[in-house]
Structure 1
């Protein structure tokens, strides 16, 4: 199964069918374990300072939030249980699990409230995420018996499954079944998801069969996991059959996500009619304000190379959603460029430029790269130059440099590579094409001035370690321009770069020139 599809399936774990109970929602993977027993929503007065407003900006995971918590109490300010739980919920949502755990543990230590099984489940889940399943297991074992409920049992099961502990997960799940804590689809789904992550697709339908045997009603996620298990083994007939079964269930309505998963496998099997049928059914089930759903359907239509359908859904998305954010523009632009509908992509880009969305170079970059791929290099360069002050992608400048190099337009290639290097930031995803950079380095060493070569090498050293090729280019430019190279040779030695055959050839040129210049 592709990593993209697995990522899509994992994201679907946070989506629950409306028919699910509040207790199921409380234990769903990657969502809060808080259920309807306590309400944690709190509305602060506009402009007033709250504990949430103090902690929320502390985005770095390495920053402790305890000083803010202690400081708040030391100043004698009101401490709201609701707000503390809101902070935990927000930090979890932003994947700031260490900080969320700090808040939860601080609450428990300070006795802000008596923890129920709900709060224990939240803390147990956070311990598992931050310190691992063994620490979560230890916390669970330390709980009093009255707090070992379906919530805390479910939280520990998630911890085991998240770290792919199959034996522990199955043993723990068996105990949950014996205690009557496995009466809904939720925890069966955890086991099916675990088998999926382990690549044991043949086990997933067995779990679904066990659910039905135990009179546990499957939900949409149950069927999605099963559809995926058959699709991963290219058993398309089984995909069709399980989807039909889902459609006949009286207790649930198949949602757009489930149809989309099936459609993805129909595309892979080349079943266009089945794909379109599934996509049409998915579309009518989309919440009209759900931009993510529209984006996913647009991506699937791109795989079918259906430009008209992409544009139709894009118009629907714009009219249905309050506003389209940069994520939405990126998705439709990538889909159009993928099917070579560059003119249509340019029109969408114009829409984005007229919107009030914040600047994001990635949006324009999609069309820029498309122009490079089509050989429209001047057009691509013009686009990059217009956004140079706002910041652009060094990778795109590198692509443009490579294409100019292929065409033999060396001056432009060097200028583009220098522009890309000027935007280079370490560990930001650009792995420079050394073959291109060294080809340009070799050319500029033969043709450029000393200043040109020194400038290029200075920029290049930001992105790649110092090399013999850099020194060769510098030496050649010095030789051509009658400059002394002794200082360069000393620096080369200091950088622990030994002379090779090419170095000796370059240096012999110096000696030949020197001998020719001597009077007879």
Structure 2
């Protein structure tokens, strides 16, 4: 729409241009976004367009570009809000550099940009990441002293999570009580965080108490809330409770979401209750929820664990088929699964099985040198020849390790 408006000569506001830049980055890539920014008229290169480009760099994990651009923004007096600094701190957090975050906070303060709630939360998580729990508590104290910024429920959910990770469940539960005191009773995410975090402390009584409160606040309880609750109950080992919750959801749901049956399927498979897992899969299918890639992953993991490799291969085929029906990212089996299956065929000297699996992987472009090397070894140990193997490698532009290369002379012989 924005491109159509531009072609028709409509004047976009600077705010529109900033949005356009972000969308270009998402759809055409960062290089196209940079070109769009460079081609903007000088009056349009203000804090909004600079901020949009900075956000793009941060999303693309382009640390050096983001740092350089923020410095440029500071020179131009375009970094006057916490938002720009928050973007960079989020980047550091996501790229495993939490130790850099306190310096950003100090830089903010030096430039008279006061942290907001998000800034404080990221700062606390950065200190927790390096094991500085007293530092986390000092930040909370500073936040309380800051007359402009009040700690809200997100601060205490953040704090509770930090305490749980540190094994300090008593402090975590005190933080959760503060969360409840500060949350809006019509804030669904707050309820969901409470359930998840009480689950992580192992407090099943509190999980059920908050769940009852959630249902009172939201009589039309959405699928996501049931999904969260069932996941927590399964993690706590309360399978019967999870089953009761599932039945309650199933009786009143308007949309049958396969993610909920998947949680119980996963629990049953983990407990080696295959028949119950299969029954749940068919139950969902009858209600119009076809198995998705996650469903087949669960069964593949079960069969891999129980050494039923032929069934693993079937599950992988089914997962690939389910993936093709989805608009989301193409599904691929993990390298560990591929290696385990190929190793099995190698050990069994099963060339036909290995070739069949190879063709399945090839359909989704999941064939690399490791797969070829295993295939070559399978032919070798089985005492079978494949005169076309070198040609196959050349066509796929695959180079194999010297050990596999040595085996090719035997495998490719007539």
| TM-score, with structure 1 as normaliser | 0.59
Cα 1:384–1:171 change in 2 (3 A) is closer
CA RMSD of aligned residues (A): 3.7
Distance across 2 between alignment mates of 1:117 and 1:162 = 21
> For residue 5 of structure 2, what is the aligned residue in structure 1?
107
- Equivalences for 1:504-515 in 2 at 5 Å? none
1:265 has 2:167 as partner: no
Moved more, 232-241 or 210-219: 210-219
Of 241, 244, 268, which residue of structure 2 is paired with 1:347?
244
Could you tell me which runs of 5 or more consecutive residues in structure 1 were left unpaired when the two chains were aligned: 1-102, 446-455, 467-496, 504-520
Deviations 1:180-230 (A, max 9, x none): 322221112122223323433222112212222332221011011111111
Deviations 1:319-365 (A, max 9, x none): 22353222222211111111101111111011111113311222122
On the 8 A contact 2:317/2:360 being kept in 1, the answer is no
| SS of equivalent to 1:168 | helix
Length, aligned pairs only: 353
Distance across 1 between alignment mates of 2:3 and 2:244 = 52
| SS of equivalent to 2:146 | coil
- Equivalences for 1:173-192 in 2 at 5 Å? 173-192=70-89
Distance across 2 between alignment mates of 1:257 and 1:364 = 30
Of 128, 131, 135, which residue of structure 2 is paired with 1:234?
131
On the 8 A contact 1:397/1:419 being kept in 2, the answer is no
- Equivalences for 1:432-443 in 2 at 5 Å? none
- Equivalences for 1:265-304 in 2 at 5 Å? 265-304=162-201
Deviation at 1:417, TM superposition (A): 7.2
> For residue 7 of structure 1, what is the aligned residue in structure 2?
none
Distance across 2 between alignment mates of 1:263 and 1:212 = 26
Of 59, 62, 65, which residue of structure 2 is paired with 1:165?
62
Deviation at 1:107, TM superposition (A): 0.7
Of 340, 358, 361, which residue of structure 1 is paired with 2:255?
358
> For residue 394 of structure 1, what is the aligned residue in structure 2?
296
Deviation at 1:500, TM superposition (A): 6.1
Distance across 2 between alignment mates of 1:172 and 1:193 = 15
Could you tell me which runs of 5 or more consecutive residues in structure 2 were left unpaired when the two chains were aligned: 324-330, 364-377, 385-414
On the 8 A contact 1:289/1:322 being kept in 2, the answer is no
Cα 1:421–1:240 change in 2 (3 A) is closer
On the 8 A contact 1:150/1:181 being kept in 2, the answer is yes
Distance across 2 between alignment mates of 1:129 and 1:381 = 40
Distance across 2 between alignment mates of 1:271 and 1:151 = 42
| TM-score, with structure 2 as normaliser | 0.72
> For residue 244 of structure 1, what is the aligned residue in structure 2?
141
On the 8 A contact 2:127/2:135 being kept in 1, the answer is yes
Deviations 1:113-154 (A, max 9, x none): 322211121122223333444433333333333222221222
